[in-house]
Structure 1
Amino acid sequence: MSESRGKMPGRGPGGPGMGPGMGGMGMPVQKAKNFKGTLRRLMGYLRPQRAKLLAVLFTAILSTAFAIYSPKVLGEATTKLFAGMMGKIQGDPNATFDLPGIWQIVLFLAALYLISALFSYIQQFLMAGVAQKTVYGLRNEVNDKLAKLPLKYFDGRTHGEILSRAVNDVDNISNTLQQSLTQLITSLITIIGVIIMMLTISPWLTLILLLTLPLSLIVIRGAASRSQKYFKTQQMELGQLNGHVEEMYSGHKIVKAYGQEENSVAKFDGINERLYESGWKAQFVSGNIMPLMNMVSNVGYVFISVVGGIMVARGSITIGNIQAFIQYARQFSMPLVQTANIANVIQSTIASAERVFELLDEAEEIPEASADRAVSLTSPRGDVAMHGVDFGYKEDAMLIEKMDIDVRSGQTVAIVGPTGAGKTTLVNLLMRFYEVNGGSITIDGTDITRMKRGHLRSLFGMVLQDTWLFNGTIRDNIAYGRIGATEEEIVEAAKAAHADHFIRTLPDGYDTVLNEEASNLSQGQKQLLTIARAILADPAILILDEATSSVDTRTEIHIQKAMNELMKGRTSFVIAHRLSTIRDADLILVMNHGSIIEKGTHAELLSQDGFYADLYYSQFTGGSVKASVG
């Protein structure tokens, strides 16, 4: 198939993204409809990696355990230094600093930090493999699914929505598995380990610290709930700003032509002002979480320092243990904030997974014929027939009913009619983009449902009114019509489409790279390239959707001659809007409301003085189409 349907989409906005780091508390997240069910299904994708996940858990425990034990060891060094200093102060002539013991502790500490770093490195290395392999499989599954979905799925959704699920949501899952999951494991282990170490030092001091925990949770919940509404407003205004900028950029010529620059700027300023207000409030409130948490922690430090000082004075605890305990107290608050933030991220990730699973659960195209039963036309003639075809986009609203067409090889069939008559739908049915509700379609007497879809569509060449060219050289775009085409064949196809001349006037000729949406070529030039692509494909059946509508009159004459040569010996379906271009068609089908209301040659239809005649003369006299168009 030489021409794909419509334009390829650009990457659309949307999709739940990761929060703005650990300072992003209160960032709004999309909630899953079925959190537990989606979580279980997502965990199923991790099951093949369970051995590595156990290794990640093991290395996380070891890394965190060594890091948690370090303050206790450091406290022992402080105790030795304090003992030596107090001996000097008290005038004990035998008092000395235990430097060998202190150095031994320092070396032991260095070893602890190195071992902790090593296990942390192994943990990240293993988790990177787990995350990427899991998402690799999921991404392949999504890609395979997109190839199996019927055309109606894409027609019913925006390009941005589909891309958001296939790209943004999958990336969100990847980032969470890679970063947030390991951070969650580490944070939980740190909280448990720190509590254990603090209990070994002093249960009373641990109780004092835990009493500040409810206050910390109140601060987190209060600030998060207040910032939530501001973040929600910020996201809404940001979406409006993105939409306005995209709209103004894509239509900037029209904006300038009608002198609407000031109105455009004024609207932008209004949205930007509202975005500034909501963004400032959201960042201010969420930015206060850490200072408030520090304030609560400092209250705890005060109590710990006072009570700890009294205990040191009474000799019930060493000063090194007090130092270690204060370090543990500082380690205790950060994992709490991280865990709360990760909970938001995970919620967003489950919502992303749910959106991906919804795509994977969509109904696929009707299964193809098995390889051993599939029919392939080795020398297709191009006979096309429709027998009693019924079709509707909805079961209860039929667009086409009991359609019968019999087209012989080499005939040119023009399809005309008002907008919505079913012209494009007819073409979609021929190429099996949609399945018929009743009846059958055959090519050379073979039902198209007995062929592989890829083989069926290879019999067709398409030139659409809406051109599609991809980012690549002109040579590659023409060669897209047939795999393995030689340079000579590409040039010959370009010459036949009268595109060779303008291609050679470009700075790099056939090596000219087309930018996004091929905006460095005129619409007419783009159409010439798609026609060259169709010529190169050399198909058995041609589908032309007003292929010359974007070129000037002189070029149209040349292209029409080339098309006439191309259509010789081939069955051609021409969707026509300008009826002057189809006078020589072997058969003209006049469609209205999904039915063929007239058919015949140009002369026969004019002599009938019916719907076609009224439609034809209206294009030259400015008269109106009959009321039956309706």
Structure 2
Amino acid sequence: MEKEKVSSGNIIDWSVLSRLMRFVRPYKGRFYVVVFLTIAIGLLSPVRPMLIQYTLDKDVANGDYMGMLWMIVILLGMLFIQSIAQYAHTYLSGWLGQQVIRDIRTKLYDHLVNLRLRFYDKTPIGRLVTRTISDVETLADVFSEGLAAMLSDLLQIIFILAIMFYTDWRLSLLSLSTIPLMLISTYIFKEKIKVAFNDVRNAVANLNTFVQEHITGMNIVQIFASENHEAKKFREINKEHRDANLRSVLYYSIYFPVAEIIAAAGIGLLVWYGAKGVLQEEMTGITIGKLIAFIMYIQMFFRPIRMIADRYNTLQMGIVSSSRILNLLDDQTDVQKNGTHVPEHIRGEVKLENVWFAYNEEEYVLKGINLDIKEGETVALVGATGAGKSSIINLLNRFYEINKGEIKIDGKDLREYELGHLRKNIGVVLQDVFLFSDTIYKNISLGSEEVTEEMVWHAADLVGARKFIERLPGKLNYNVMERGSTLSVGQRQLISFIRAMVYDPRILVLDEATSSVDSETEEMIQQATDKMMKGRTAIVIAHRLSTIQNADKIVVLDKGEIKEMGKHDGLLLQDGYYAQLHKMQYKEFV
């Protein structure tokens, strides 16, 4: 498995941050309140030491008990106001973060469901899960613990410095003498933790990718007895995740004690010098109130510096996650271009004109395909594996875009049709039936309010599935569990038939629809398909040639080219590709 590598880049990418702030616009009123509260908290914090200094030097020194009482009331009032402001700030910034990540996650998912299948062919699903869940979740911290909190800390530092120098420049310089050591240690910590956090995010993406892929493919792992090998690979990836987290823990465990020691050293110098000043108050102007106020200032000053280093990296990881998400949203290469043509009725004429297609550039799987399918005609596509049969179906549904040529339905270019309308009129039944962990009704309607229970039962009658559904507990409300594990292969296939027929499509596509079922179920499905194809254009892919002998036209494909075309009997007389395929299966169907 290819591991994801993501460089963090600049710690604050202002272009990414400005784009991220666009998602805040719908909530700008709350955002302005958060900014106001941030400034208010930054202003209120340094005021307390000033009031305490005044109380000690004036009221306590002069024995003014009423003055002390009033000052206590004022301090308690300020603490109450500050607590309310802090509560509102924490709640609103968290609320804002949750609203933004909800909107981003919705936008991201809307983008993902509109990407062509080509995108999913080359992108690990686990990585997309990381983008949609983990990376988006990280953005919440940008608002609750990153940007707003950093701004509050910076404002506190500025206000505290201003008050300290205004009060006594000598004590200020002495108090700040250890700042260079604090800044150096903070910078080293910031750089180390930035790398560690980035490694953690990469490890999480790699873990998600590995677990998702291997749980989905667990049957392959067990069939080939590869449990021990895969477990070993998982342990290696998990070890990388553990080591990355432990590195971040190590840096925190070193930085915060060092920061405490540096802060304590600054306070020690302040007390040593200030105590001498208090004894010589008349000469130095240093009072006990001023000394205690400065001790409080220096504690308040170092706390936000320590927190900024941590929040700096929180903000950086949010920016990294934002960059990943925005890069995914900006990638319009595989976005399906939607047309506007919505005809009231589609007749079902299909025409492929010189169609060339490659999943990878220049490795063409379809080469100059020309095919004319008339309204109501049943056309069978046959050929060896890799001949290009399923590719034609993928192009008809616009799961992929052709490289050259043109596909028309009712004489109109396929790309001009509105995608939703086009796909409702092309009923597709695939060999590999995928069912979600939900009810039968939800698996058929896929959440569409257009699909009523009456429509579902009508389609069930058409394909002969009513009896088996009525025998299930809850009938249409029966939960099929993940991938339809509580149903047989044949039952899952019948549900896929209902899903294809519920919109009464004008074009029906059956891609190996009976290859995975037993003979009894196949006979029932064959009867259903005969009813389904009546009055519709039908394109059938089948390895079992006995199922398509009555087709109006059989198209024989080989290595992406049409080799033969005609009816069953005529193709046998040609003694070509089709005759060879028929001979290979003759004993099975004789």
TM class, shorter-chain normalised? Answer: 0.7 to 0.9
Unaligned runs of 5+ residues in structure 1 are 1-13, 17-27, 85-96, 623-630
Residue 83 of structure 1 aligns with which residue?
Answer: 61
Residue 157 of structure 1, aligned match among 100, 104, 123: 123
- 8 Å CA contact 1:201–1:325 kept in 2: the answer is no
Residue 410 of structure 1 aligns with which residue?
Answer: 376
Residue 198 of structure 1 aligns with which residue?
Answer: 164
The correspondence of residues 232-251 of structure 1 with structure 2, limited to 5 A, is 249-250=215-216
Residue 343 of structure 2, aligned match among 366, 371, 376: 376
Partner amino acid for 2:37? T
Residue 328 of structure 1 aligns with which residue?
Answer: 297
Q: CA deviation at 1:428?
A: 2.3
Q: CA deviation at 1:472?
A: 2.5
Alignment partner of 2:508: what SS?
Answer: strand
Q: Does 1:579 align with 2:545?
A: yes
Partner amino acid for 2:163? M
Residue 3 of structure 1 aligns with which residue?
Answer: none
For the residues of structure 2 that align with 1:493 and 1:410, how far apart are their CA atoms? Answer: 19
Alignment partner of 2:352: what SS?
Answer: strand
Residue 30 of structure 1 aligns with which residue?
Answer: 8
Alignment partner of 2:432: what SS?
Answer: coil
Residue 627 of structure 1 aligns with which residue?
Answer: none
Residue 59 of structure 1, aligned match among 34, 37, 41: 37
Residue 548 of structure 1 aligns with which residue?
Answer: 514
For the residues of structure 2 that align with 1:56 and 1:212, how far apart are their CA atoms? Answer: 33
Q: CA deviation at 1:208?
A: 2.0
Alignment partner of 2:564: what SS?
Answer: strand
- 8 Å CA contact 2:194–2:313 kept in 1: the answer is no
Alignment partner of 2:394: what SS?
Answer: helix
Residue 153 of structure 2 aligns with which residue?
Answer: 187
Residues 40/386 of structure 1: CA separation in 2 closer, same or farther (3 Å cut): same
Residue 338 of structure 1 aligns with which residue?
Answer: 307
Residue 402 of structure 2, aligned match among 411, 436, 442: 436
Alignment partner of 2:385: what SS?
Answer: coil
Partner amino acid for 1:352? S
Residue 523 of structure 1 aligns with which residue?
Answer: 489
**Alignment deviations for residues 365-405 of structure 1 (CA, whole Å, 9 cap, x no partner):** 575555xxx35142x33222222333344664544343221
Residues 479/450 of structure 1: CA separation in 2 closer, same or farther (3 Å cut): closer
Residue 428 of structure 2 aligns with which residue?
Answer: 462
Residue 447 of structure 1 aligns with which residue?
Answer: 413
Residue 533 of structure 2 aligns with which residue?
Answer: 567
Q: Compare 310-319 and 427-436 and name the one that shifted more.
A: 427-436
- 8 Å CA contact 1:497–1:528 kept in 2: the answer is yes
For the residues of structure 2 that align with 1:605 and 1:391, how far apart are their CA atoms? Answer: 26
> How much identity, in percent, do the aligned residues show?
34
Residue 74 of structure 1, aligned match among 40, 44, 52: 52
Partner amino acid for 1:586? D
Alignment partner of 1:537: what SS?
Answer: coil
Residue 613 of structure 1 aligns with which residue?
Answer: 579
The correspondence of residues 261-300 of structure 1 with structure 2, limited to 5 A, is 279-300=245-266
**Alignment deviations for residues 513-548 of structure 1 (CA, whole Å, 9 cap, x no partner):** 233333333433222211122233321110111112
Residues 227/381 of structure 1: CA separation in 2 closer, same or farther (3 Å cut): closer
For the residues of structure 2 that align with 1:135 and 1:482, how far apart are their CA atoms? Answer: 26
Q: Does 1:351 align with 2:329?
A: no
Residue 143 of structure 2, aligned match among 177, 186, 196: 177
Partner amino acid for 2:326? F
Q: CA deviation at 1:189?
A: 0.6
For the residues of structure 1 that align with 2:520 and 2:241, how far apart are their CA atoms? Answer: 52
Structure-2-length-normalised TM-score = 0.86
Q: Compare 208-217 and 29-38 and name the one that shifted more.
A: 29-38
Q: Does 1:221 align with 2:187?
A: yes
Q: Compare 98-107 and 213-222 and name the one that shifted more.
A: 213-222
- 8 Å CA contact 2:278–2:286 kept in 1: the answer is yes
Partner amino acid for 1:72? M
For the residues of structure 2 that align with 1:144 and 1:269, how far apart are their CA atoms? Answer: 34
For the residues of structure 2 that align with 1:489 and 1:111, how far apart are their CA atoms? Answer: 67
Residue 362 of structure 1 aligns with which residue?
Answer: 331
For the residues of structure 1 that align with 2:163 and 2:379, how far apart are their CA atoms? Answer: 85
For the residues of structure 1 that align with 2:478 and 2:268, how far apart are their CA atoms? Answer: 72
Q: Compare 414-423 and 155-164 and name the one that shifted more.
A: 155-164
For the residues of structure 2 that align with 1:487 and 1:375, how far apart are their CA atoms? Answer: 25
Partner amino acid for 1:159? I
Partner amino acid for 2:457? V
- 8 Å CA contact 2:60–2:68 kept in 1: the answer is no
Q: Does 1:106 align with 2:75?
A: no
Q: Compare 549-558 and 239-248 and name the one that shifted more.
A: 239-248
Residues 299/111 of structure 1: CA separation in 2 closer, same or farther (3 Å cut): same
Q: CA deviation at 1:348?
A: 2.3
For the residues of structure 1 that align with 2:413 and 2:480, how far apart are their CA atoms? Answer: 40
For the residues of structure 2 that align with 1:354 and 1:266, how far apart are their CA atoms? Answer: 33
Q: CA deviation at 1:215?
A: 0.8
Residues 389/536 of structure 1: CA separation in 2 closer, same or farther (3 Å cut): same
- 8 Å CA contact 1:411–1:572 kept in 2: the answer is yes
Residue 536 of structure 1, aligned match among 502, 514, 521: 502
Unaligned runs of 5+ residues in structure 2 are none
For the residues of structure 1 that align with 2:239 and 2:89, how far apart are their CA atoms? Answer: 45
**Alignment deviations for residues 569-602 of structure 1 (CA, whole Å, 9 cap, x no partner):** 1111112233333222221112223221111222
For the residues of structure 1 that align with 2:130 and 2:238, how far apart are their CA atoms? Answer: 25
For the residues of structure 1 that align with 2:158 and 2:92, how far apart are their CA atoms? Answer: 23
Q: Compare 538-547 and 160-169 and name the one that shifted more.
A: 160-169
For the residues of structure 2 that align with 1:101 and 1:290, how far apart are their CA atoms? Answer: 40
Structure-1-length-normalised TM-score = 0.81
Residues 55/487 of structure 1: CA separation in 2 closer, same or farther (3 Å cut): closer
